Amino acid sequence: MPWFIYSFIAASAVTGAFLCVRRLTDLGFSPRLVLVFNITVIFLGFAVLNVLSGTLTTMWFAESFPLFLGVMVAVGVVAMGVNLANYIAVQRAPNPGYARAIISSSPIPLAILSVLFFQSPLGWGNFLGTVFMLAGVVLLVLKRNQDKADGTSSRRWLLPSFLALAGMVFVVLGLKEATLIGGFGPNEINFLGFGTQLALFALFSRAAIQEDVRKNREHLGPLFLFVGLGGLFSMGANYFIVMGIELAPNPAYHEALFSTNVLYLTLLSVPLLGLRLERRRLLGVVAVLLGVSAILLL
């Protein structure tokens, strides 16, 4: 199957996961509680897949396992940092879309760094398509009339935004490196990556998570329902993310196509959330489609 099919499937699956998260936050559940439950479902799901395939007991004895473990622990730790920095940036920014626009620009530095580290090809047409997609994503995520006039947010949101951007680039490069070690596939990669994140949550946020559970004890039914559904979507997304990163000529091409999840969310938000498709968002849709066409055809 062509690599870009994996990217589009991942984008579609993560869209379903985002909609489940949105439903839970609308019901009043804290983002931290939703995130830790989602990571738990993903980790347990990939643990089951590794048990069924027999790799859970054999991968520990592979000659390259120490290197693989080191890479995945680093990826898991940085991924947690990305989540934290992203949350802080969105909270501090005068317009949440500003922070998301910076973080979504990861395909640009990723395209260049992939050439340096992995000798990945970088055609001008593909790079131009990536830039078009970035412009489209920016138009889709920016929100009008949300700038704070009092200036209290200052520029304190810039540092976490760029830290999240750098962390995202590191995570993708780390996943690419993990696929090149040999002998380990998406199931093992996701099992160790999300296992690391879950361990960090248990180590540093256990008390806060327990407090969140106590506050929402009477409403855990919807939490389990949508977290379970969102976790299944997230499992599929992360499986195909690894496949897309592994098979794409340049990991940045996969990341650019994966960003089409913003397009799917925008279009689905019209009937589901009552979002108006303004001219700016329509231009964003056109730019994303042009970028996709350039990446696939040039």
What is the DSSP code string of 162-188?
A: HHHHHHHHHHHHHHHHHHHHSS--HHH
pLDDT tens per residue, range 239-253 = 999 999 999 998 988
Inform me whether the pLDDT recorded for 177 exceeds 70. Answer: yes
Higher-pLDDT residue of 267 and 187 is 187
Structure tokens at 204: 């540093």
**Model pTM score:** 0.84
Structure tokens at 255: 């990341």
d(CA 134, CA 59): 38
d(CA 73, CA 11): 25
The percent of residues above 90 in pLDDT, for the chain, comes to 31
DSSP of 39-72: HHHHHHHHHHHHHHHTHHHHGGGSTTHHHHHHHH
Confidence of residue 277 (pLDDT cuts 50, 70, 90): low
Mean pLDDT across the stretch 12-24? 86
Higher-pLDDT residue of 143 and 263 is 263
pLDDT tens per residue, range 57-102 = 888 888 999 999 999 999 999 998 888 888 787 677 776 666 777 7
Structure tokens at 71: 């890479």
Inform me whether the pLDDT recorded for 152 exceeds 50. Answer: no
Residues 139, 283 contacting (CB under 8 angstroms): yes
Low-confidence winner among 49-53, 159-163, 231-235 (lowest mean pLDDT): 159-163
* DSSP state at residue 154: T
Any alpha helices (H) in 93-250, and if so which ranges? 96-103, 107-118, 124-141, 158-181, 186-204, 206-215, 220-247
d(CA 270, CA 273): 6
Q: What is the distance between the terminal CA atoms of the chain, rounded to a whole angstrom?
A: 19
Q: Which amino acid is at 165?
A: L
Mean pLDDT across the stretch 25-32? 76
Closest CA to 94 of 51, 155, 140, 4: 155
d(CA 226, CA 213): 15
Mean pLDDT across the stretch 215-238? 83
Inform me whether the pLDDT recorded for 138 exceeds 90. Answer: no
Closest CA to 85 of 205, 146, 165: 165
Mean pLDDT across the stretch 230-240? 93
Inform me whether the pLDDT recorded for 224 exceeds 70. Answer: yes
Confidence of residue 42 (pLDDT cuts 50, 70, 90): very high
Report the chain's mean pLDDT, rounded to a whole number: 82
Q: Which amino acid is at 270?
A: V
Structure tokens at 82: 């990305």
φ, ψ for residue 154 (rounded to 5)?
Answer: 50, -135
